[in-house]
């Protein structure tokens, strides 16, 4: 048999079939083409299975998982501030507005220094890959050069990076030491950033993408928001921002625009099926309908929401309305670079929303019924939901999807999962992996058919 495939992987894989259901591919052969796409999945009972196995095993193009190892789709971090990695784990006890002024803007302003930016960004991208994150939708800073450097580092390290140069042009809302020089400069820098990254993408296998990125409405003038909507349309780019995150931010927009965040962003041409809005905790029913109609996705950042959002995203309700949802770390509003940690928090927060949290209230009045999400749903958000949000063939292990994969080893000596029952169902096993695995359990990570992380 001639070698029709660039690579063949043998093993058991978990992937979402729907938000609620997981599929298990037991001991299958995953056959990739040169582009890193899954061309064919062969089950053991398939007539070609033995032939392909015989022809590839023992060659350089073949990789078989050992006992206790499993394929999971690589995670998609749908909202992360790359510069804030430098302050991750600090200042978790101050509200959003003060946190921006006293910690975050001073830190982000330092990314005019490219040597500093390189140090932080390289460390972050390597850390994310080691945590199973194969795609990242990043906010960088207002600096065009450093933002481009982040895209270059993603390109070099083999991560699929979607990167935004942040726009903050409002002279009243932003400090003089950290804002765009003018609205015109913000738009011109964004346009040349888009062109540079689109060119860079052609040199990569996995793709890197420019993202139009108004930080949030309070940072931006109406003229900048409108201009950014036009640029996104002209270059058919992704768009990201923060939307209805907290009481303070949500109320600020109502006062200034006499409108919700969602309607205001829509008026400026910033909602489309390539838009991803972080948080969206305080959407009205009309706002939620606009998300669904325009195909705008929500980046759900459950750890960050505990600290900054004054509420819990009603994720189950929004999923039922047909809104795309993915998971984000929101480094450093959220402290953890791991989407495993965010999967866990998404489930926990949804349970607290459903049950309520004030024990002085009677049980029937305490919570919001039907709010819980399952581990399967949180897994879906971290993988297939993120892929769907970006309209890319990622986040699922099935034919015509990209081979973006993490190999989980449940027997890693320093982080062995408690498995004492040989008869455990595959779904229970996945739940153990989701709730209990540590970064040490991630043995290898692949993006677009290329190995980008290997634990030694
Ligand atoms: N709103 C505007 N900027 C930010 C930020 O950096 N983090 C969070 N969580 N919310 C924001
Ligand atoms: Fe954020």
- Domain's final residue, options 364, 389, 414: 389
CB-ligand 1 contact for 385 (6 Å cutoff)? no
Closest residue to atom 9 of ligand 1, CA basis:
333
Is residue 139 assigned to a domain? yes
Q: Take residue 217 and report the two structure tokens written for it.
A: 């409405």
Cα of 44 from ligand 1 centre, angstroms: 49
Q: Residues 79, 61: one domain?
A: no
Q: Residues 164, 61: one domain?
A: no
Q: Take residue 452 and report the two structure tokens written for it.
A: 């980008």
CB-ligand 1 contact for 242 (6 Å cutoff)? yes
CB-ligand 1 contact for 333 (6 Å cutoff)? yes
**Closest C-alpha among 281, 332, 349 to residue 310:** 281
Q: What is the residue-wise DSSP string for 49-91?
A: HHHHHHHHTTSTTEEEPPTTEEEEEPEEEEEEEGGGGGGTTS-
Render the burial of 183-219: b for 16+ CB within 10 Å, e for the rest. beebbebbbebbebbeebbeebebbbbbbbbbbbbbb
- Domain's final residue, options 389, 411, 435: 389
Is residue 312 assigned to a domain? yes
Q: Residue 2 has what pLDDT?
A: 63
Q: Residues 204, 342: one domain?
A: yes
Q: Residues 80, 222: one domain?
A: yes
Instruction: Yes or no: say if 13 and 397 are a contact pair by the CB < 8 Å rule.
Output: yes
Sign of CA dihedral 175, 180, 183, 184: positive
Phi, psi values for residue 213, rounded to 5°: -135, 75
Is residue 332 assigned to a domain? yes
Q: Residues 361, 231: one domain?
A: yes
Q: Residues 180, 287: one domain?
A: yes
Is residue 217 assigned to a domain? yes
Instruction: Yes or no: say if 114 and 56 are a contact pair by the CB < 8 Å rule.
Output: no
pTM score? 0.98
Q: Residue 202 has what pLDDT?
A: 98
Cα of 242 from ligand 1 centre, angstroms: 7
- Rounded to whole angstroms, the Cα distance separating 342 from 338 reads 7
Q: Residues 126, 228: one domain?
A: yes
Residue 348 exposed, middle or buried by CB count within 10 Å (0-12, 13-18, 19+): middle
Domain that holds residue 411: 7-73+396-454
Q: Residues 264, 237: one domain?
A: yes
pLDDT string in tens for the chain (456-residue length): 568 999 999 999 999 999 999 999 999 999 999 999 999 999 999 999 999 999 999 999 999 999 999 999 999 999 999 999 999 999 999 999 999 999 999 999 999 999 999 999 999 999 999 999 999 999 999 999 999 999 999 999 999 999 999 999 999 999 999 999 999 999 999 999 999 999 999 999 999 999 999 999 999 999 999 999 999 999 999 999 999 999 999 999 999 999 999 999 999 999 999 999 999 999 999 999 999 999 999 999 999 999 999 999 999 999 999 999 999 999 999 999 999 999 999 999 999 999 999 999 999 999 999 999 999 999 999 999 999 999 999 999 999 999 999 999 999 999 999 999 989 999 999 999 999 999 999 999 999 999 999 998
Q: Residues 143, 192: one domain?
A: yes
**Closest C-alpha among 330, 327, 237, 227 to residue 269:** 227
Q: Residues 133, 231: one domain?
A: yes
Is residue 21 assigned to a domain? yes
Give, in order, the Cα–Cα distances in Å from 420 to each of 45, 88, 296, 429, 443: 29, 36, 44, 11, 21
Best residue among 79, 100, 111, 170 to mutate for probing ligand 1, ranked by most atoms within 8 Å of CB:
100
CB-ligand 1 contact for 246 (6 Å cutoff)? no
Number of domains in the chain: 2
CATH (domain of 274):
3.20.20.140
Q: Residues 415, 373: one domain?
A: no
Instruction: Yes or no: say if 216 and 200 are a contact pair by the CB < 8 Å rule.
Output: no
Q: Residues 242, 316: one domain?
A: yes
CATH (domain of 34):
2.30.40.10
Q: Residue 302 has what pLDDT?
A: 98
- Domain's final residue, options 373, 389, 405: 389
Render the burial of 278-312: b for 16+ CB within 10 Å, e for the rest. bbbbbbeeebbebbeebbbbbbbbbbbbbbbbbbb
CB-ligand 1 contact for 261 (6 Å cutoff)? no
Cα of 451 from ligand 2 centre, angstroms: 29
CB-ligand 1 contact for 216 (6 Å cutoff)? yes
Is residue 2 assigned to a domain? no
Is residue 1 assigned to a domain? no
Q: Which ligand 1 atom sits closest to the C-alpha of 246?
A: 10
Is residue 58 assigned to a domain? yes
CB-ligand 1 contact for 329 (6 Å cutoff)? no
Render the burial of 240-268: b for 16+ CB within 10 Å, e for the rest. bbbbbbbeebbebbeeebeebbbbbbbeb
Cα torsion through 325, 329, 332, 333, rounded to 10: 40
């Amino acid at each position: 048999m001639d070698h029709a495939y660039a690579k063949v992987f043998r093993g058991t894989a978990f992937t979402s079939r729907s938000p609620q259901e997981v599929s298990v591919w037991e001991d299958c052969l995953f056959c990739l083409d040169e582009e890193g796409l899954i061309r064919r999945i062969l089950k053991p009972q398939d007539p070609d299975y033995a032939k392909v196995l015989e022809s590839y095993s023992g060659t350089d193009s073949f990789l078989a998982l050992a006992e206790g190892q499993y394929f999971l789709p690589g995670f998609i971090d749908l909202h992360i501030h790359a510069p804030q990695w430098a302050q991750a784990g600090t200042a978790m006890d101050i509200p959003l507005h003060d946190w921006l002024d006293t910690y975050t803007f001073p830190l982000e302003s330092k990314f005019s220094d490219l040597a500093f930016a390189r140090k932080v960004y390289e460390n972050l991208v390597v850390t994310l890959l080691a945590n199973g994150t194969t795609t990242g939708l990043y906010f960088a800073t207002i600096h065009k050069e450093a933002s481009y450097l982040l895209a270059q580092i993603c390109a070099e390290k083999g991560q699929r990076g979607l990167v935004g140069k942040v726009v903050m042009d409002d002279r009243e809302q932003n400090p003089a030491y950290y804002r765009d020089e003018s609205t015109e400069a913000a738009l011109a820098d964004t346009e040349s950033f888009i062109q540079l990254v689109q060119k860079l993408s052609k040199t990569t296998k996995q793709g890197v993408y420019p993202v139009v990125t108004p930080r949030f409405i309070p940072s931006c003038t109406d003229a900048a928001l409108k201009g950014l909507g036009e640029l996104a349309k002209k270059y058919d780019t992704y768009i990201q921002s923060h939307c209805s995150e907290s009481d303070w931010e949500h109320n600020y927009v109502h006062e200034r625009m006499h409108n919700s965040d969602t309607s205001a962003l829509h008026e400026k041409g910033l909602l489309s099926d390539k838009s991803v809005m972080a948080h969206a905790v305080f959407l009205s029913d009309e706002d939620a309908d606009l998300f669904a109609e325009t195909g705008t996705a929500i980046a759900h950042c459950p750890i960050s929401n505990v600290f900054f959002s004054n509420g819990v995203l009603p994720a189950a309700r929004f999923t039922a309305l047909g809104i795309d949802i993915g998971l984000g770390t929101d480094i450093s509003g959220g402290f953890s670079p791991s989407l495993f940690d965010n999967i866990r928090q998404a489930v926990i927060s949804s349970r607290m929303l459903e049950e309520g949290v004030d024990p002085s209230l009677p049980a029937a009045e305490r919570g919001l019924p039907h709010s819980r999400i399952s581990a399967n749903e949180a897994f879906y958000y971290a993988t297939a939901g993120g892929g769907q949000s970006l309209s890319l063939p990622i986040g699922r292990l099935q034919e015509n999807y990209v081979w973006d994969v993490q190999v989980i080893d449940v027997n890693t000596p320093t982080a062995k999962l408690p498995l004492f029952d040989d008869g455990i169902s595959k779904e229970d096993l996945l739940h153990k992996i989701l709730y209990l695995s540590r970064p040490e359990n991630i043995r290898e990570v692949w993006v677009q058919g290329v190995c980008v992380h290997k634990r030694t």
